[in-house]
Copies of this chain bind each other. A is one copy, B any other.
């Protein structure tokens, strides 16, 4: 959406906080950096997200929020397999690639992927990977909230983590 479009919407339905104020606030809510992937009838795709959240351990479930305008959306809409790969310092460049404009077909060009139980791409040497199947979807404004039941967890306790805070990466020691 363009800036102009933003302003027109804001004029039509005045919000109590502007999008800019919300985004600036959210930049100060630290989040893990995750490369979220899928594969299946809709093809292979992936994007970088901080909007990932644990929901419940019974049944083990997390959620991911995805902008419906995202180039990854058609694949995530058609597929049931999702993998959340939480990454640390060693995958900072890869996280930038999956968060940028690189064509979907090129994002997986680097080695270091294998197929999880769900069928989604699992990243080697991630801090932790949650291999999942979609259990529920909920539309909310511009985004789809994808609830995912976890069918596999792979973790490397020796890998340092990362947080995105104040629009910067921060390394987190183990």
Contacts and interface: CB of A to CB of B under 8 A. Distances in A.
Interface string A133-154: 0001010111101010011110
Contacts of A113: none
Interface stretch (A35-43, A47-55, A75-83, A92-100): A47-55
Given A53-B53, A55-B145, A56-B141, A16 B152 contact: yes
A170 to B, nearest CB: 5
A169 to B, nearest CB: 10
A51 to B, nearest CB: 5
A21 interface: yes
Given A140-B55, A141-B55, A174-B166, A150 B63 contact: no
A127 to B, nearest CB: 5
Contacts of A30: 30-32, 86, 161-163, 172
Nearest to A129: B25
Interface of A: 9, 15-17, 19, 21-26, 28-32, 34, 50-63, 65, 67, 86, 117, 127-128, 130, 136, 138, 140-143, 145, 147, 150-153, 155, 157, 161-163, 165-166, 170, 172-174
